[in-house]
Structure 1
Amino acid sequence: MHHTSLIRVVALTATTAALLVATQAQAQQTYEWKLVTSWPKNFPGVGQGPERLAQLVEEMSDGRLTIEVFGAGQLVPGFEVFDAVSEGTAQIGHSASYYWKGKAPAAQFFAAVPFGMNAQEMNAWLHYGGGLELWNELYDEFGVEVMAAGASGVQMGGWYNREINSVDDLQGLKMRMPGLGGEVMSQMGVAIVNMPGGEIFTSLQSGAIDATEWIGPYNDLAFGLHQAAEYYYYPGWHEPTVMFEAMVNDEAWNELPADLQAILRSAIRDVNQDVLDEYTARNNDALATLINEHDVQLRKLPDDVLAEAKRISADVVQELADSSELAGRIYESYSDFQQKVTNYHAISEQAYYNARNPDGEVSFDNANAE
């Protein structure tokens, strides 16, 4: 072999080796992240989502990316999760976007819209209807990347310490209800109070509030809300689902190699479905326990309350849509998608439910479902 050819081969080999070492170094580099949530640590359902996320990411990345999960108040208060991620105090957060309505009012569209889309429909809009792109556009100025990370399904209408027989019975009630639903209720004469989940029970028990909504039977039983109020109302018109969110700090996200980004994205998508599956599996049994073991009075919200809530909801949502150019585009995308999916679901899901259970029968031993 010619001398210069030999030098060239050696040089090439050295370059290849150097590249290989660099690639291996990147592959071996580890990342330790902090995850902050708005939920009590290890709380059933929504609080388990972040724990599952951390576990999945560690397994899938073979320990290259580890995530330490902090419950509300452990590192930052539950309502400061967004700021913590935006500022880089934590690399990732798990919460619900309507808590940030003070910073980005249009964020409420991505959590829960009264009489809006349910979990199945929201997932379709977010992932195949342009919703997620709009959500990220909204969070861009805060340096946050966002993904859907769980859903509650249709929530309950709330716990009341007195019976509600008409709209008049709502006047002057003090109630914990976040987001657009809270805005609607305040226009119906309710004094709305906001607080993180961990403070609800004591507030209800002490009489600081007269009513609250939290999530649904599985979580409400875990919080012991039946010990503080006896009337449990449905349906949760204000939250046809709550979509939970995983927020990632942009700089932290961009530092990850492509394979870890893909792992994180896939793990979050897994958690998104898993949280909803758990709620669907657990809610009915928890409701039966509340009714049969704790003598909770299950009640349907009166028709006039639902009709009035629906009327006011349309105005409240429209007002939010008019609040900015981006809010207008989000609303247009959301409402167009809802119209189409409602149309299709009328002859699919809804028609099937009606065929399967034409009388809407439920079988809780002592439930008064009238």
Structure 2
Amino acid sequence: MKRRQFLQTAGAGLAAGAVASPAIAQSNPEIKWRLTSSFPKSLDTIYGGAEVFAKQLAEMTDGKFQVQVFAAGELVPGLQALDAVSAGTVEMCHTVAYYYVGKDPTFAIASAVPFGLNARMQNSWMFQGGGAELFNDFFKKYNVHALPAGNTGCQMGGWFRKEIKSTADLQGLKMRIAGIAGQVVSKLGVVPQQIAGGDIYPALEKGTIDAAEWVGPYDDEKLGFAKVAQYYYYPGWWEGGPMVHNMINLEQWNKLPKSYQAAVINASTYANTWMAARYDMQNPTALKRLVGAGVQLRPYPQDVMEACYKAAGEIYAEIGAKNEDFKKIIQAMQAYRNDQYLWWQVAEYTYDNFMIRARARG
């Protein structure tokens, strides 16, 4: 090929490419969605997960896919986020599935159930063990598609006005506790109350409730619970690794281009990792501040733990006898948990136990 002919051909190719690039860019539509959170802005980590997601999504799509985040109560109450998405009032929400056990107790397993999975196990089950597929098959009934988008790690066991020395001290106690855990403690005489996060402090202050669980030291400190309850118990056996989800209207999800679905998945996964890491960073110093200010840190008595474990098994059997979805998924979760703990007792627990003792020795 002669030099002049080559340059003319190459120039034509470059011109064609210059025309093609905008055409490719134009194939990605501009989309604006609204996301309603189940959490107030003051809880900057659990609420912040939604903002982190929206920021990542916008950056991954060159600003073409924008999600506006609204705090609980700005569009709908926090505990009605799923209803708004299911009905198509908003395109998506950032919420915790166990808030919706009134619709079906199966929802709780997607986030956390008593004596369930820890945070790493929950991620493993959802991303690699078939958990996400099980739940999205179930969530179709409610016109939503769910993606993991946060985890608090193992939570604390709650704030109490009086010391809990045995199961006898639980009789008649009014406690803010969400999901199936409320049914478990009711077998021990507790009167469970489901109250949104922003309403817990005034309920404790006024004596409407005697105890409350929320998340962990960082969030609990921000909400001021130490001012109205002295005893802080651990562990939160009902939330060993509670997962937060992005729940998306199924019709809106199905309409997205595949590239945008991939971007939503990846931005959600980033938020999932971000939230867990941030709580792990924030909780130790918050706990030290709380104890330094006079909070009485207490482990649950062994008889309380054993009684709750037994009651949880009874609850699962009772629900499973009437609900096939719950039975199928709880059994899948328990089988996964048992295999996971076979591994954890060999390596993870042995290592952590040694390091905790080494730290105590200085």
Using structure 2 for the length normalisation, give the TM-score.
Answer: 0.91
**Shift of residue 251 of structure 1?**
1.6
2:56 aligned partner, one-letter code:
L
**Shift of residue 41 of structure 1?**
2.2
What percent of counterpart residues are identical? 37
1:202–1:107 CA distance, 2 compared to 1 (3 A)? same
Alignment correspondent of 2:294:
295
Using structure 1 for the length normalisation, give the TM-score.
Answer: 0.89
Alignment correspondent of 1:105:
105
8 Å contact from structure 1 (residues 159, 213) kept in 2: yes
**Shift of residue 253 of structure 1?**
1.3
Alignment correspondent of 1:271:
271
Alignment correspondent of 2:4:
none
8 Å contact from structure 2 (residues 119, 153) kept in 1: yes
SS of corresponding position for 1:50: helix
1:249–1:259 CA distance, 2 compared to 1 (3 A)? same
Structure 1 residues 158-211: Cα deviation after superposition (integer angstroms, max 9, x where no partner) = 000011111111111110000121111111101111111010000001100000
Instruction: Map residues 28-177 of structure 1 onto 2, 5 A cutoff.
Output: 29-41=29-41, 43-177=43-177
Alignment correspondent of 1:309:
308
8 Å contact from structure 1 (residues 42, 48) kept in 2: no
8 Å contact from structure 2 (residues 159, 230) kept in 1: yes
Unaligned residue ranges in structure 1 (runs of 5+): 1-17, 364-370
SS of corresponding position for 2:214: coil
Alignment correspondent of 2:344:
345
What count of residue pairs does the alignment treat as equivalent?
A: 346
**Shift of residue 257 of structure 1?**
1.5
1:290 aligned partner, one-letter code:
L
Alignment correspondent of 2:15:
none
**Shift of residue 104 of structure 1?**
2.3
Alignment correspondent of 1:9:
none
TM-align CA RMSD: 2.0
8 Å contact from structure 2 (residues 101, 180) kept in 1: no
1:198 aligned partner, one-letter code:
G
Q: For 1:44 and 1:244, how far apart are their aligned partners in 2?
A: 14
Structure 1 residues 19-40: Cα deviation after superposition (integer angstroms, max 9, x where no partner) = 998755332x211100001100
Structure 1 residues 263-318: Cα deviation after superposition (integer angstroms, max 9, x where no partner) = 111000011111000111110100001111x2111111111111111111111123
8 Å contact from structure 1 (residues 161, 230) kept in 2: yes
1:19–1:329 CA distance, 2 compared to 1 (3 A)? farther
Q: For 1:241 and 1:205, how far apart are their aligned partners in 2?
A: 28
8 Å contact from structure 1 (residues 44, 222) kept in 2: no
Q: For 1:302 and 1:47, how far apart are their aligned partners in 2?
A: 33
1:350 aligned partner, one-letter code:
Y
Q: For 1:362 and 1:308, how far apart are their aligned partners in 2?
A: 33
Alignment correspondent of 1:248:
248
Structure 1 residues 216-264: Cα deviation after superposition (integer angstroms, max 9, x where no partner) = 0010001111111011011111111211111011121122212111111
1:97 aligned partner, one-letter code:
A
8 Å contact from structure 1 (residues 218, 282) kept in 2: yes
Q: For 1:325 and 1:309, how far apart are their aligned partners in 2?
A: 24
2:79 aligned partner, one-letter code:
F
User: Which has the higher mean CA deviation after the structures are superposed, 156-165 or 349-358?
Assistant: 349-358
Q: For 2:58 and 2:356, how far apart are their aligned partners in 1?
A: 44
Q: For 1:57 and 1:315, how far apart are their aligned partners in 2?
A: 43
Q: For 1:284 and 1:38, how far apart are their aligned partners in 2?
A: 25
Q: For 1:254 and 1:159, how far apart are their aligned partners in 2?
A: 43
Q: For 2:152 and 2:50, how far apart are their aligned partners in 1?
A: 14
1:257–1:19 CA distance, 2 compared to 1 (3 A)? farther
Alignment correspondent of 1:188:
188
